[in-house]
Amino acid sequence: MNSRKGFIVLTGEVGTGKTTMLECLREMLAEQGTEFAYMFNSRVTADQFLEMIAYELALRCNAKSKVEILNALNEFLITQASRGKTTVLIVDEAHNLDPDVLEEVRMLGNLENAKIGKLLQIILSGQPELDGKLDDPKLRQLKQRIVLRCALKPLSEQQVSEYLNTRLAKAGMPNQKVFPPALITEIHIRTQGIPRIINAVCDNLLLTCFAMEEKLCTMEMLDEVVADMRLEWPTAHSKLGRTLAGFEPAEVFRRNR
């Protein structure tokens, strides 16, 4: 990050934790005293994009004038770099960026100084479509400058188990038994390992368990919760199936044991 190499691209399916990772990064940068601009709204025009950068970095200029923004930005970046500081531009939801804005981003990536080199570290984060967008031949100049591509994958069954155990331990329940291993296997299948869905399903499971005055979450509760949430998951991976004729999944689960 501090070496200001080129573009870094982070992709991941909806709810896999991209924004959460960027939040951690922002905290880290703030602790280090590194200046950064965080662009959370990518449905903007190229001019609005530059205006947002001007606000984020508190540039002293007329934010309505592109020339003034670019001059002020260049000055700001040189001052930071001469102090040995990297400035970082983080763009979340980058899959939504219009080609015009991506072209502007590429130009910002070109800002450099003969002595110092590149002045701005740029991170683009978005859904997997972003990869396809960057493969557009019109953006080949930008593509050539990508030095690192990271893909956030859904959690594996083992990771789901570790995640739930850790969260419950933090909440004061070490060696949790609320979610038995067979249920965790099925939670992994039905949430497809997506952290946002895991959180919502488990939250609802705990609530149901509490409402029923039980100490253990069951398959019946999971069936109810995922039905309420209208969750869909690929049956090919499920050991139980989703639509076995004549049986509710919880019933199949019991029969299979």
Ligand X SMILES: Nc1ncnc2c1ncn2[C@@H]1O[C@H](COP(=O)(O)OP(=O)(O)OP(=O)(O)O)[C@@H](O)[C@H]1O
Question: Is position 12 an interface residue for ligand X (rule: CB under 6 A)?
Answer: yes
For residue 178, the minimal CB distance to Mg ion (Å) is: 29
Residue 15 interacts, among ligand X, Mg ion, none and using kind-specific CB cut-offs from 5 to 8 Å, with: ligand X
Q: How many residues bind ligand X (CB under 6 A)?
A: 12
Rounded distance between C-alpha atoms, residue 53 and residue 66, angstroms: 11
41 touches 181 (CB < 8 A)? no
Q: Which two tokens stand for residue 205?
A: 């499971």
Of the two residues 12 and 249, which places its CB atom closer to Mg ion in the complex? 12
Residue 20 near ligand X by CB under 6 A: yes
- Give the ranges where the chain is alpha helix by DSSP (H): 18-32, 46-56, 66-82, 99-109, 129-134, 140-144, 157-170, 181-191, 195-211, 219-228, 249-256
Q: Which residues bind Mg ion (CB under 5 A)?
A: 18-19
Q: Can residue 42 be called a binding residue for ligand X (CB under 6 A)?
A: no
Strands 117-118 and 120-126: unpaired
Beta carbon nearer to ligand X, 53 or 201: 201
φ, ψ for residue 49 (rounded to 5)? -60, -45
Per rule CB under 6 A, is residue 16 in the interface with ligand X? yes
Stretch that binds ligand X, among 15-23, 113-121, 171-179, 220-228 (CB under 6 A): 15-23
CB burial class (10 A; 0-12, 13-18, 19+) of residue 171? exposed
Name the minimum Å distance from CB 18 to ligand X: 4
Closest by CA position to 53, among listed 86, 77, 26 = 77
- Which of 8, 10, 15, 252 is close enough to bind ligand X by CB under 6 A? 15
Does the footprint of ligand X cover residue 14 (CB under 6 A)?
Answer: yes
155-214 residues near ligand X, rule: CB under 6 A: 195-196, 199
Burial class (CB in 10 A: 0-12, 13-18, 19+), 211: exposed
Per CB under 6 A, 34 contacts ligand X: no
Of residues 106-145, which lie at the interface with ligand X (CB under 6 A)? Answer: 127
Q: Decide: is 249 part of the binding site for ligand X (CB under 6 A).
A: no
DSSP state of 170: H
| Binding segment toward ligand X, per CB under 6 A, in 10-18, 74-82, 138-146, 248-256 | 10-18
CB of 179 to ligand X, least distance (A): 16
As a whole number of Å, the CA-based R_g of the chain is: 24
Judged by beta carbon distances under 5 to 8 A according to partner kind, the member of ligand X, Mg ion, none in contact with residue 17 is ligand X
Give the chain's length.
257
**Which residues in this chain contact ligand X in the complex, by CB under 6 A?**
12, 14-20, 127, 195-196, 199
